[in-house]
Structure 1
């Protein structure tokens, strides 16, 4: 299972184990079970602090638990934690083995202080091994389970447990269940999970934030533009804060990046980790998982009001809230969101193995999604509103070479159909004839561009007819002392590297504004 290089790295990491651990496999006669047994034995070879038993009786087979010797395992993997999930396995081994997680002391105390009902709380996270958002959720719940004996967690590979996926009506990952009840869908950071488990956390956090002093520059948004702005501002020696709904923003959902100058290729989550590390080398107050609600001018100060009620004051503000996937806004889309309507083919594609799906959008994102899905699903139908595809020629050539792909041009999607629990079709209008047609399918992947996250600024800043913040050449908005950068603005060409440049420019403009006051 593991090559020599990975085994050597594993041996090095497992030297950090502080006490013995036991891997207990609950296996069957499947090929996956044989591979799992091989994996467990290879891990055992890497440390004398690891023992293996193969007589587990857990209902999910194949699966294995990681336990402190003499205890019942609270961290379990139902499926082979390879690919993106290999890090989840490694951290699970270390944390159960007593190696402390890289968390602030107050976060560790919050985890240990969580109260579970008698008998404990059991969570399951359904994942796909190609999902780059899933590991964060798996690792968060594993950490909670390793530190607090009242909680347990199982990673479930949806592709390996299809009947259970059908039973739970799971159409998108990551999907988290607390017992039999849905707990949450999509990417969730540890702090967000703790907020849901600790009912008093929101009020406490709001009070803590409101007590912060005035910032010289407060950056709202933690994507590439916000991160660049933070670095440039902090290097000027001024008090800098970053308020982010999720640090990294849309880049976290981007798999392959091949046009970031000087870096031949990378992945979104990796780039975000590097951005966060760079920002934290400076004296920047990063306030993650916080959503801005309104921007006010109070006398000579600017004030950002948050969803949780907190209010932050600043001399200047840089808005870099980015954008999100644009929705079709047709009947049935919201009803069947995560029930067949999806926005991330890399994450959710494996759940539609052997099924018929569609992709909405003929740009690069849509065509790339159709090409990726064609290798997994039975058939892909790509719908494009225009009379021609807008993707690069090389992508179009690849798309048209695939035997299980149909392209329908000049098509206006008008409705998502379903049986009440999941998608079973899509209705579109042929724009040339006006005829309404229906296609039977089980999944719809929407890839039609981005929508700026600026609704909270309506009536405060000047916005374009597309909802973008109107900025001048220096990033200045219509409100004195407020600047903006990145995908939420009228700056053309929504690219990571351009957003970084615009964020840097906005920070320099904010500094220039401060020294002239």
Structure 2
């Protein structure tokens, strides 16, 4: 039976300042808006702000974010505090996004505002074996490990959905985690799959010289494998960009390239905030979010009218 779609004009990935400002402007432009992601992942969440225009007191980042969500909801935006596990495009050009809860959303335009991933294991062997068996992107590199044993490290949706994906190509998949922080549905899928689970575990070192041979856990256990996928959060910019064919900046291949209208090279996809590169300032994120929200809303309404 096909999954019923929750239809929107614009879907925003990320609920930091860029995503919230995009939501406010898109919703005020009379677009239907969904905002995905967990607010606590924003780099602003635990920060304090004292250098933002027209604010003469120091404010807690969490207060700014919560007020931003209330403001966006007042204009009609709907929030889903969960992660994306897959994103595709249908024959009409709509983006189809599956959430870890099992809900499936569609939209004519999306805005990528997830910030950047700074999470690394910071263990011996990680840096040395990057590209030699160590990867931060399952969808990018899974096929290089067809028929091999692989290890996924992480507690959240990217690790779980990545491990499930790897079951399709790898001979064996191990998931190393402290405590799964995912929706019950995704947890059930992982626990009932053929993934070898290592709960309450942490990686002490990645083993190998010319290539990965396995990982050493803090309890002394060794898990042998040819690949280690480090997935320490939600699906990141690089993975989603790769999936959609979005161009990254050629100098670093870390950030998404946009026009002055916050457009990417893929029609219907916009980006704003830290995901577009430095400086890491709320003022920049809010400005780009404003532009992205208005542009995405106009694009989505135009596409919707063409297809109705």
TM-score normalised to the size of structure 1? Answer: 0.35
Match 1:458 to one of 242, 249, 253 = 242
1:268 counterpart residue number: 61
* CA distance in 1 between partners of 2:104 and 2:280 (Å): 30
The one-character-per-residue Cα deviations of 1:454-502 (angstroms, maximum 9, x if unpaired) are 3233142222343212211111112111111111124x41211210110
Q: Does 1:479 align with 2:266?
A: yes
Structure 2 CA distance for partners of 1:510 and 1:218, relative to 1, 3 Å: same
SS of residue paired to 1:280: helix
The residue correspondences of 1:388-467 to structure 2 (distance < 5 A) are 420=218, 453-460=237-244, 461-464=246-249, 465-467=252-254
The one-character-per-residue Cα deviations of 1:172-224 (angstroms, maximum 9, x if unpaired) are xxxxxxxxxxxxxxxxxxxxxxxxxxxxxxxxxxx9xx645321111111110
2:257 counterpart residue number: 470
Structure 1 position 509, deviation (Å): 1.0
* CA distance in 2 between partners of 1:239 and 1:273 (Å): 20
SS of residue paired to 1:318: strand
Match 2:288 to one of 489, 499, 502 = 502
Structure 1 position 238, deviation (Å): 1.5
SS of residue paired to 1:304: strand
Structure 2 CA distance for partners of 1:514 and 1:508, relative to 1, 3 Å: same
1:296 counterpart residue number: 88
Q: 1:225–1:320: 8 Å Cα contact kept in structure 2?
A: yes
* CA distance in 1 between partners of 2:14 and 2:90 (Å): 21
Structure 1 position 248, deviation (Å): 6.5
* CA distance in 2 between partners of 1:324 and 1:253 (Å): 16
SS of residue paired to 2:276: coil
Q: 2:46–2:60: 8 Å Cα contact kept in structure 1?
A: no
The one-character-per-residue Cα deviations of 1:61-84 (angstroms, maximum 9, x if unpaired) are xxxxxxxxxxxxxxxxxxxxxxxx
The residue correspondences of 1:190-209 to structure 2 (distance < 5 A) are none
Q: Does 1:216 align with 2:9?
A: yes
Structure 2 CA distance for partners of 1:515 and 1:216, relative to 1, 3 Å: closer
Q: Does 1:512 align with 2:305?
A: no
SS of residue paired to 2:108: strand
SS of residue paired to 1:509: helix
Q: How large is the Cα RMSD of the aligned pairs?
A: 3.0
Bigger relative CO (Cα 8 Å, ≥ 6 apart): 2
Structure 2 CA distance for partners of 1:488 and 1:269, relative to 1, 3 Å: same
2:110 counterpart residue number: 317
The one-character-per-residue Cα deviations of 1:123-168 (angstroms, maximum 9, x if unpaired) are xxxxxxxxxxxxxxxxxxxxxxxxxxxxxxxxxxxxxxxxxxxxxx
Q: 1:303–1:314: 8 Å Cα contact kept in structure 2?
A: yes
Structure 2 CA distance for partners of 1:487 and 1:456, relative to 1, 3 Å: same
Structure 2 CA distance for partners of 1:420 and 1:287, relative to 1, 3 Å: closer
Match 2:21 to one of 210, 228, 231 = 228
* CA distance in 1 between partners of 2:30 and 2:104 (Å): 23
Structure 1 position 228, deviation (Å): 0.3
Any runs of at least 4 consecutive aligned residues in structure 1 with deviations exceeding 4 A, and if so which?
Answer: none
The one-character-per-residue Cα deviations of 1:69-101 (angstroms, maximum 9, x if unpaired) are xxxxxxxxxxxxxxxxxxxxxxxxxxxxxxxxx
* CA distance in 2 between partners of 1:328 and 1:248 (Å): 17
1:257 counterpart residue number: 49
* CA distance in 2 between partners of 1:247 and 1:267 (Å): 13
Q: 1:229–1:505: 8 Å Cα contact kept in structure 2?
A: yes
* CA distance in 1 between partners of 2:46 and 2:275 (Å): 17
Structure 2 CA distance for partners of 1:459 and 1:241, relative to 1, 3 Å: closer
* CA distance in 1 between partners of 2:8 and 2:64 (Å): 27
Structure 2 CA distance for partners of 1:281 and 1:248, relative to 1, 3 Å: farther
* CA distance in 2 between partners of 1:250 and 1:242 (Å): 17
SS of residue paired to 2:257: coil
2:184 counterpart residue number: none
The residue correspondences of 1:371-390 to structure 2 (distance < 5 A) are none
The residue correspondences of 1:19-168 to structure 2 (distance < 5 A) are none
SS of residue paired to 1:458: helix
Aligned residues: 195
